[in-house]
């Protein structure tokens, strides 16, 4: 906040210095470093909104490893940016320059997070104007405007463009547009006819809406009542400009109340889906990629609440973290714990689960326990939680600000004075090799998934060699509510890989739902995913699996689903599971089967009616062969419901030829959905091509987070691109 409240003269000084540029040294491993000139510019190497953090001093791994005794710390700073949290480590000549950049970047980052649509629009227009000004004279000629329109996918007759150009060109210097004139020109070409038609349909064909008309529009279409504040601000009539502001940006399809925590957080932990990371330390694949402590900062700030720590014996008695038996690099356990301590609660106050996969000897386990207690301190202290009062697992609300250690625990019958003891693989939930349990499940027909029986007869079978390890009392004692076991009862956590989970889902889906009503279950990717790819998390959410572990380092469609899921509760890392997945709901308990055509008999179905009206400023595909000079796109919209198998479906609009700037579809898509409480809705825009289609952009929203009425679906990662839709959600009685 202090960067937002800086005086304007200080901010202006920082911005001027950064735009002018500063000579600094870029740290490059063991080499001396590269002396380079750094400055702010729209033709950037990376954008301000991709920056996660700016750190003062020598706090990055690069500084600690290669520059411990070099450079004045006051001249050093690091910028963490991008999806894989790369670091740019810089050293200025004087401390004042470093301070200017740290202050300026943090100010810009604060501005990005609170920026409203108008500010974004102005920034986008300024950048677009600058990029179109090819000769750098500060104005746009008619030729430069034609090139820009082609880039923006605008297909207008040349004479019409010339007429609008001349109308906007109002100053004494004719034949070119200044920035202000360009804004006027842009306003002409971007007039929203679709919004205008909606307005006059409620105003009895008049150019203004009176307050009664507006109230009728808001109640009938947007399903909201006009507030007294809105009533006061709008006075007596609403012209088109004001009406636009009601739908842009306030008309986002995502419910603004869901940007904050809005669900009951006082239920037991096992009633929630928990955002969970797999191989948190890795930046890429599982064989050769780098392990970095910064990845823990990245996932925790992305809302993740369960991180994985693979611990091995390291040199000099220091435990290390890496992917065992591979060429991935190694990082210190202590550095990871310090990073977790720093970032655990910057995004969310709800508990963090530290999932420890322990491969260390007892001496280094003691070191791990020592670091955990020394660094995390009262974050580990659960003494104020009365176990007997709880009877069930504590709630996220009670555990705010706490870190739970998930790991192996010594047997209860072990001598309490023993400093260490043996634990076998039946007492562990660690990740292991792929195993086929289908023959066992098929041979043994049982009414519910009897975990104790499965543990006894399958995992302890003579053909399966039991493994044991020594466990330190100090580390075991840190495990409270999240003991790792192969299969569990209440207060324990089981971990199963996707291969085993898919077998259970195929053969005993309803029993798996009931298992998830009794205990926590973690699902992690198959060992065969050496590229760190991600599975579809929806399969496991459908059955109520609490901790579906994802490779956060791997961007793509599956991680987009994950983000959409957890966005619906303020991205706090916890989502309350629907009632039909909870044990304490007498009506639903035991009746739900996620793979049946009628998953919950007697439950009301829902109809989603989506009218896809228009698109705005849809760009060319990123991998377009000719870039901005490529052909104007032919867009269409595809909408997909992702949920229970019976609900999964896709529909698409027709193709609009040669118009990516303001295509009009005016098409209605209808979806019947059995369980909207667990479904996601994915909007994708494609460019039709004679030999296929090219991806333009997407936005995924949890069904429960969609707002009714006329809404804009802003595409992820794109400044101005959106599609305009009308959303209607209706209850349907009986079967669909």
Domains of the chain plus CATH, in order, are 8-114 (2.30.29.30), 119-189 (1.10.238.10), 193-247 (no CATH), 269-581 (3.20.20.190), 605-732 (2.60.40.150)
Give me the long-range contacts of 91-100 (CB less than 8 A, separation at least 24): 91/24, 91/25, 91/27, 91/33, 91/67, 92/22, 92/24, 93/23, 93/24, 97/17, 97/22, 97/24, 98/56, 98/74, 99/74, 100/13, 100/14, 100/17, 100/18, 100/22
Residue 4 has pLDDT above 90, yes or no: no
Q: Where are the beta strands (DSSP E) in 385-503?
A: 403-406, 420-424, 468-472, 483-485, 492-497
Residue 456 has pLDDT above 50, yes or no: no
Residue 163 has pLDDT above 50, yes or no: yes
Q: Output the average pLDDT for the chain.
A: 85
Helix (H) or strand (E) holding 416: none
pLDDT, one tens digit per residue, over 557-601 is 999 999 999 999 999 999 999 999 987 654 554 589 999 999 998
Confidence of residue 55 (pLDDT cuts 50, 70, 90): confident
With a threshold of 0.75, does the pTM exceed it?
yes
What distance in Å separates the CA atoms of residue 148 and residue 492, rounded to the nearest whole number? 60
Residue 307 has pLDDT above 80, yes or no: yes
What distance in Å separates the CA atoms of residue 70 and residue 58, rounded to the nearest whole number? 10
Q: Which residues are catalytic?
A: 278, 322
pLDDT, one tens digit per residue, over 459-518 is 445 555 667 889 999 999 998 876 665 554 555 788 899 999 999 999 999 999 988 988
Confidence of residue 228 (pLDDT cuts 50, 70, 90): low
Residue 377, classed as helix, strand or coil, is: helix
Between these two residues, 402 and 391, which has the higher pLDDT value?
402
pLDDT score, position 413: 87
pLDDT, one tens digit per residue, over 670-703 is 999 999 999 999 999 999 988 889 999 999 999 9
What distance in Å separates the CA atoms of residue 455 and residue 460, rounded to the nearest whole number? 7
Can you tell me which residue has the tokens 């890795």?
Answer: 282
Confidence of residue 373 (pLDDT cuts 50, 70, 90): very high
């Amino acid at each position: 906040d202090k960067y937002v409240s800086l005086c304007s003269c200080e901010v202006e000084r920082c911005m001027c210095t950064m735009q002018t540029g500063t000579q600094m040294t870029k740290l490059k491993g063991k080499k001396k470093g590269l002396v380079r000139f750094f400055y702010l510019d729209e033709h950037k190497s990376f954008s301000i909104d991709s920056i996660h953090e700016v750190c003062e001093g020598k706090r990055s791994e690069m500084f600690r490893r290669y520059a411990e005794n070099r450079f004045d710390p006051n001249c050093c700073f690091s910028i963490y940016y991008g999806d894989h949290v790369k670091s740019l480590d810089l050293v200025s000549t004087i401390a004042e320059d470093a301070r200017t950049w740290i202050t300026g970047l943090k100010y810009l980052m604060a501005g990005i997070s609170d920026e409203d649509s108008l500010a974004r629009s102005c920034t986008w227009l300024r950048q677009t104007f600058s990029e179109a000004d090819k000769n750098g004279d500060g104005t746009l000629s008619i030729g430069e405007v034609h090139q820009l329109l082609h880039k923006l996918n605008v297909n207008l007759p040349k004479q019409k463009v010339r007429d609008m150009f001349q109308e906007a060109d109002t100053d004494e210097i004719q034949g070119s547009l200044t920035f202000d004139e360009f804004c006027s020109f842009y306003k002409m070409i971007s007039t929203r006819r679709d919004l205008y038609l909606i307005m006059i349909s409620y105003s009895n064909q008049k150019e203004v809406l009176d307050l009664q008309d507006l109230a009728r529009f808001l109640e009938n279409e947007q399903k909201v009542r006009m507030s007294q504040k809105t009533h006061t601000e709008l006075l007596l009539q609403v012209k088109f400009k004001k009406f636009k502001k009601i739908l842009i940006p306030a008309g986002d399809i995502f419910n603004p109340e869901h940007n904050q925590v809005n669900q009951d957080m006082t239920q037991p932990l096992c009633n929630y889906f928990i955002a969970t990371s797999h191989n948190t330390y890795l930046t890429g694949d599982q064989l050769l990629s780098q392990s970095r402590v910064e990845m823990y900062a990245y996932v925790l700030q992305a809302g993740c609440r369960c991180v994985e720590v693979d611990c091995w014996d390291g040199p000099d008695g220091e435990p290390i973290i890496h992917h065992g038996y591979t060429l991935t690099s190694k990082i210190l356990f202590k550095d990871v714990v310090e990073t977790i301590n720093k970032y655990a609660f910057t995004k969310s106050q709800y508990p963090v689960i530290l999932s420890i996969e322990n491969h260390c000897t007892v001496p280094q386990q003691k070191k791990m326990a020592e670091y955990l207690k020394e660094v995390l301190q009262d974050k580990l202290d659960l003494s104020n939680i009365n176990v007997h009062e709880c009877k069930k697992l504590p709630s996220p609300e009670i555990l705010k600000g706490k870190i739970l250690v998930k790991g192996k625990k010594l047997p209860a019958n072990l001598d309490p004075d023993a400093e260490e003891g043996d634990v076998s693989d039946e007492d562990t939930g660690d990740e292991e090799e792929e195993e086929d349990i289908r023959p066992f499940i098929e041979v043994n027909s049982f009414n519910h998934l009897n975990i104790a029986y499965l543990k006894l007869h399958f995992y302890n079978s003579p053909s399966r060699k039991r493994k044991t390890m020594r466990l330190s009392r100090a580390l075991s004692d840190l495990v409270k509510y999240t003991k790792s076991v192969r299969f569990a009862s209440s207060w324990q956590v089981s971990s199963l890989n996707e291969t085993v989970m898919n077998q259970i889902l195929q053969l005993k889906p309803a029993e798996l739902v009931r298992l998830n009503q009794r205990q926590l279950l973690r699902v992690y990717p198959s060992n065969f995913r050496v590229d760190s790819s991600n599975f579809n998390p929806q399969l496991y959410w459908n059955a109520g699996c609490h901790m579906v572990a994802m490779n956060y380092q791997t961007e793509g469609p599956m991680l987009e689903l994950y983000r959409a899921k957890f966005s619906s509760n303020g991205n706090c890392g916890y989502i309350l599971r629907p009632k039909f997945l909870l044990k304490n709901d007498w009506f639903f308990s035991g009746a739900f089967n996620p793979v049946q055509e009628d998953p919950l008999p007697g439950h009301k179905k829902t109809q989603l009616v989506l009218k896809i009206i228009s698109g705005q400023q849809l760009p060319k595909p990123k991998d377009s062969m000719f870039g901005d000079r490529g052909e104007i796109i032919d867009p269409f919209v595809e909408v997909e419901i992702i949920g229970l198998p019976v609900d999964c479906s896709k529909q698409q609009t027709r193709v609009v030829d040669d118009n990516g700037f303001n295509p009009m579809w005016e098409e209605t898509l209808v979806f019947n959905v059995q369980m909207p409480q667990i479904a996601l809705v994915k909007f994708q825009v494609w460019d039709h091509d004679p030999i296929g289609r090219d991806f333009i952009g997407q936005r995924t929203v949890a069904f429960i987070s969609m707002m009714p009425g006329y809404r804009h679906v802003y595409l992820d990662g794109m400044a101005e691109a959106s599609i305009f839709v009308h959303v209607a959600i209706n209850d349907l009685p009986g079967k669909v």
